[in-house]
Amino acid sequence: MDSVLIVGNWKMNTSLKEGRELAREIDRTLVGIKMRVVLCPPFTHLQAIRAQISYALLGAQDTFWQVEGEYTGEISPAVLKEMGCQYVILGHSERRKHLLESDGMVNKKVKASLNQNLRPILCIGESEEERDRGQTFKVIQEQLDLDLKDIDNINYLIIAYEPIWAIGSGDIPDPSDTNNTARFIRKVIKKKYGGETADNTTILYGGSVTSSNVEGFVSQKNIGGVLVGGASIKAEEFIKIIKASSQS
Ligand code: PGA
């Protein structure tokens, strides 16, 4: 299993200047810390952020599924790789909701990213309504079936379990429930890809992570790190999250 992974999803936040300062401040504190910290700024900031970091790693918030061609406004996974990205967030619930991104599209993006040796951080998770109807495992099973359809090798894949109701709401699940869900995700992966792949797949928790609740999540057996939104654009708070995770 890899070391703890902390991913900061900046979403559509920070000016270029703010982004540079944020990255520089975070990167400085990573000296001597043995964990992987991935910064996912807006596309427009990638090159500038890359120049600020020596210890943090770079990720994108999305990619298109074709490498080049007539796709106005889209971003190639090959170019993301060229820009220094090692990771790419895919299927975030905000894209599924606001841009109507379907599992079929996410599936193509996972394939295209793996082809470019970009590590996908595949986001899955249930809505509040689905949770209340007791359908969490059913939803997760369906998302994994569709998002990983016809993909034979997921050795570089990371899965982020993000209950939609926990994102940006301050409402978090009990960490032990999250561990159970992560265990279920591992079971699904085991059935599809075998025990070794399942054991080696990093599963993150995401949704209202802060420095005061992060330890509860990263100390769970099946949780290998966190995907942080709002708290990742506040330097001091994000650094506290990193430090709290490195001690657990
Ligand atoms: P949040 O976002 O930490 O602001 O809840 C998490 C995410 O959307 O990945």
Tokens of 45: 């900031």
pLDDT at 114 over 90: yes
pLDDT, position 248 = 63
Strand locations in the chain, DSSP E? 5-9, 36-40, 57-60, 87-90, 119-124, 158-161, 202-206, 225-228
pLDDT, position 2 = 58
Residue 202: pLDDT band with limits 50, 70, 90: very high
CB of 162 within 6 A of ligand 1: the answer is yes
Catalytic choice (45, 92, 94, 101): 92
Atom number, ligand 1, closest to the C-alpha of residue 208: 5
CB of 172 within 6 A of ligand 1: the answer is no
pLDDT at 74 over 90: yes
User: Nearest 5°: CA angle at 198, between 197 and 203?
Assistant: 115
CB of 230 within 6 A of ligand 1: the answer is yes
Cα 194 to averaged position of ligand 1 atoms, centre (Å) = 30
Interacting residues of 132 by C-beta distance below 8 A, sequence separation 6+? none
Residue where the block lists tokens 């591992």: 186
> How distant is the alpha carbon of residue 162 from its chain centre?
9
What spatial distance separates the first Cα and last Cα of the chain, rounded to whole Å?
A: 15
